[in-house]
Every structure is written in structure tokens, then in C-alpha cells.
Amino acid sequence: MKLIYIPILAAFVAATLSERSFTVDYEKDTFLMDGKPFRFISGSFHYFRALPGSWRHILRLMRAAGLNAVMTYIEWSTHEPTEGNYNWDGIANLEQFIQIAEEEDLYVILRPGPYICAERDMGGFPYWLLTKHPNVKLRTYDFDYLHEVQKWYGVLMPKIQNHLYGRGGPVIMVSIENEYGSFAACDGRYLSFLKNLTEQYIQNDAVLFTNDGPEQLPCGRIPGVLATLDFGTAGSPDNYWKKLRKYQPRGPLVNAEYYPGWLTHWMEPMSRVTAGPVVTQLRKMLSQGASVNFYMFFGGTNFAFTAGANDGGPGKFNTDVTSYDYDAPLDEAGDPTSKYYNLRDVILEFLPHPGLSVPGKLPKMKFPPVKMSSLGTLLSEQARRILSKYSVVSQKPLGFEALNQHSGLILYETQIPKDLRRDPQNLSVNNLHDRAYVHVDNKLIGVLSRENAIYSLPISLGVGTKLQLVVENQGRINYGIANDFKGILGAVTLDGHELLNWTMTGFPFEDYSLLEKYIDQYSTSEDTTSSVKIFHGDFDITADKIFDTYLDPRGWGKGVVFINGFNLGRYWPIVGPQVTIYVPRHILVQGKNTIVMVEYQRDIPEDAVINFTDVPILDGPDN
């Protein structure tokens, strides 16, 4: 019986799949799903900004809002953090994310870049491209770059293919590049290469598209590929559609990035976008028959060292905060906001009710203050021996990429020449990327900052003989992509005399087991008077059910925090606006939980504590 029925079943499945199609009807200005007019209202949710245990809850909330699709970037650096070593597990399990979206009755729109921007380190490119190809011209017809993209797509695209709509999956659209019209290179040969490469894998099983701001269409659109626009509440949709029609006379109207919120940098007010204009503009676009994607519907968190930067401010360098709350309809913890309900009311005017009630806001936890014990300084011999990944000697300083280090800190050390007798002497660091904690003989004497264009400070005679610069990578520029190398990239001078003969010690903080080893072996006899200190604490959870919480580092300065080995990201409450750090419930355990904080600059007392609250603080320490 099986031998008879299997071919019949296979023929039935093949016939069913052959009827599935998602295409563009340019004459009727619409998408066609299986030959019938279709439009999407979707929301952006980047799987790499939330832990997998929360994916289903967030996707269900998106479906309950009336959305019929989810859009996500695919981040190259998440999946190939070091060359040839691919990661498809945990937060990088793209196929599981697609499967859960399908189970929650959502179509999927993929944006594989390979450049994604997204306020991520280097716009989603892996840092090792700069180590392997220091002169690479990203996002152009550069042979080294094209070769790496081709290899990456050869690994990525086969994982996508079985999820394409034409092959029975939920993926209806796949993008080519990302807002390329905003990139100065305007390289048509590169876009043609990427179009041809993508088509090899996607064929006719999903719709290919580009996205650009209305003014950037001339360099961003690709002939034969659906062009879409990105715009928010400023200006009239009618004017934007007119600009689109100059280059694409027919086809569906699509706003691929409609902004209900906005990004935020450190040292700025938290970006807030009121719901009223968002609702009004949305209703107008939907009344015109447009398809709309909210960027973002759920923002999430830039865990670890994944937050990027932009080229604004005094030093042409503004760093993105750890939170990607984005003032989105779902907040950083995935809870619905008032904006969510406002938008849901409009969406349900145009799409059928999903038949789901809105899941309620999940409870949050708070804990008593946790005592933190100081475990010495990163400059100690014990910390160097256990926590460093390498120690390299060079006549001149070398950068992160030259040393094959993604992020974290590098300690640069050299001797101060004895024959310099001026008092004080001016220390200058040329081309500093990004922030240097300046020490002499293990004593912090000042901070240099690319963000604020502060590259020099006076050093008095007699403070010591060894100059030590602890340099922090604060995140590579994500928009414009100017090969944002990190570390000390130029000469270091003292009263104009170049300092040579450097020792560089790397602390990437990628291997948490080294921190565990350091905690186990720490000796209280170590010097604890320097900056860049390591703190450790434990707290117990006795509750039967664990919920999210927020770490409150008020009283601390700037640094990075780990809980149970998971890098939650950077904290910087003294400048804000973000104060609290989101702690997802999935990393917490019943019983003992461990906190490790690396505090870069503040003199934290020996009896320091860290607090946990059940309410996020994202609008500054006084709010």
C-alpha cells in the first residue's frame, strides 16, 4: 500500500506547490498571491535582538495586532562572527524563527543585505573583512568584497530556499542590498552583481525588491526589481509616491520602512514619536492601497558589543545605545504599548481580524540590592595572565582589526622618555577610535574621546614612567560604512615627540570562561587602585516562575555587564539617556545567579551594590 500511495502523495504535493506563487502585477499595481490580489501590513522584528524563548510571544503579539507578515534583516556578523565559523544556533537560528513565524500565521520578508545598517556594529558586516582585506571597498564592485559576499550567500541562501513561498514556505519577498541610494559609491555594477547572485537562489519563488528614501531612488533602484520607499510621518505620502512613479510608473505602492519610532545615541534625549501622526499617516497610506512595514514594530536589544554608531556630533561619531526599544509599538521587553493599540485599531480597519486576543503584559521582577565585590583591575598582572587573548610588541600602535580583535578593550603601553622635562607635557593621540582611558603607572589621569573630539591632555612630570592607554571600541559606524577601523590608528606624541615601542594586550571579553577562571583564582593581594575594574556578585531567585527584570547601574560609570555568562551589553548611566539594562528572563535561573561588571572609568567603592527594578528607565537618570 505504501508503495502505491507515496507516488500519489508526492504528485499531489508537487501539484499543490506548482499552484503557489507570489508575484507582482505591474499593470494592476498589486501583488498577486496564487493569482489573487494581496497586500501586506508587516512589522520589523530582528531575531538577533531577542532571545529565542521570546520569539513566539512577540510574533503572536504582532499577529494579534492584525499584521499578516514579519520583516527581518539577516545579519552576516551574527552567523559568521569569525571567518569560516558559522553559527545557526540559539539567537542565530534563522530557520527556527521563520518556522515560528509561519506557525503564528505570518508571512516572512527577508532582508539579507549583505549590508543591513540597523544601528548594528559595521552595519552587520563581520569585522574580519577589515582584518583580511584592509583596503576592501565595501558595497562596491571590489573583487575581494564580491568574493566574500559570494561565499557568504553560498552558505546562507540554501538555508532560505526551502522557506520561499513558491516552494511551500512563508517567505514572500527578499531584498537586494539596503537603502543603497544613500551610499555615495552609487555603483551600478555592484547592484547588478548582487541582483544576479540573488536571482540564482531565489528565482521566481519570491519577489525581489529594493528600498530607498524618496530622494535616493536614482542610485538605489535596480531595473527589473520592485522598488519600494522608506519614509515616516513627515511630508505627504502623495508626494513620495509621485517620486516613486517617476522611476517605476506601475506596480504596488510599498513603504518598506514606516517609522513609528526612531533610534537613539548616548548623550542624546531618548527619541520619542507620538502616536497621533503615526496613526494618521498609516490610515492615509492604507486607504491608498499601499503595503506598509513598520520599522520597528519590536526593537529589542543590542546585546554584547553589537550596537553600532553614526557619524554625527563634535567628533563625527555618535554611538548607539544598548536598548533598541525604538519607541516601537512593542517595547524592549515585548510588551504592547498604547501606540500598539492605536495602530491595531487602524490595521483592523483594512485587514481581517486575526481571531486572536492581545496577550497581556508579562510581569517583571525586582530584587534586593546585590553586593558587588571588587576583583582588581584589568591592568594587574593576574588579569593580564588570565583574561588577555594576546600580548604583541610593535614599534607603532596597531588597531583592533590588525590584531584580529572584534571588540572589547586593548591596553597600549610604552615607557615615557626620561629626557622630556617640560611640565606639564601634552599627550596627543592621533586618529583615536574610539575612547582611551589614560593611565600612568596604573593611575587613571584622564579620558580621551572620539565622540567629543578630545584627543589630548596634559601630563605632569613625576606622575610615573609607564604610559598606559586602555582603548575601548564603542561600536563601528553602521551608516555610510567608511571602513571604521578601531584602536589607535595614528601617532601618539608627547610634546610633539612620537612615542614608540608599544606593547598591546587584548581583552575582547568574548570567552566568558576566562572571567570565571579569573574570579576563581583572584587574589586579594592584587592592586585595586587602578581604573578598569572587575566586579562580581551573586543573587538568588527563589520564585517558582521567573520574569524579566532591569539592571539599574545608577552610581556606576561606564562599562559592560554579564549575567550568568551572557553579555547584556554596554551601560553608561552617567550620560544616558538609557539607564537600565534589560535582563531577559531566559538567562536567569532558580537559585544562584552571577553578575560580572567591568567598570571602565568610575571609582566604585568597595561596598558597591547593583540594583534590579521592574520598570525600565530609558529617558535619563532623572526620569
Distance CA 604, CA 54 (A): 34
What DSSP line would sit under 178-190, residue for residue?
Answer: SSGGGSTT--HHH
Q: Is 103 a catalytic residue?
A: no
Within 10 angstroms of residue 133's Cβ, the number of other Cβ atoms is: 18
Query: In whole angstroms, what is the distance from residue 174 CA to residue 179 CA?
Result: 14
Catalytic residue among 75, 80, 148, 257, which? Answer: 257
- Which among 59, 79, 80 has a CA at the least distance from the CA of 71? 59
Length of the chain: 623
| Angle formed at CA 510 by CA 371 and CA 55, multiple of 5 degrees | 85
Looking only at the bridges linking them, the beta strands covering 466-472 and 390-394 are unpaired
Residue with cell 610615573: 464
Rounded-to-integer distance, Cα 320 and Cα 478, Å: 10
15 three-state secondary structure: helix
Q: How far apart are CA 385 and CA 379, in angstroms?
A: 10
Amino acid at 487: G
CA–CA separation, 205 vs 172, rounded Å?
8
Contact call for residues 171 and 222 (beta carbons, < 8 A): no
One of 179, 401, 413, 451 is an active-site residue; which one?
Answer: 179
Compute how many other C-beta atoms are within 10 angstroms of the C-beta atom of residue 310: 19
DSSP string, 229-281: EE--SSS-HHHHHHHHHHH--SS--EEEEE-SS---BTTSPPP---HHHHHHH
Which residues are bridge partners to 320 per DSSP?
Answer: 265
Q: What H or E segment, with its residue span, contains residue 277? A: helix 275-287
Annotation marks residue 179 as catalytic: yes
Could you give phi then psi for residue 208, rounded to 5 degrees?
Answer: -90, 145
Identity of residue 100: I
> Is 121:480 a contact under the CB 8 Å cutoff?
no
Residues noted as catalytic? 179, 257
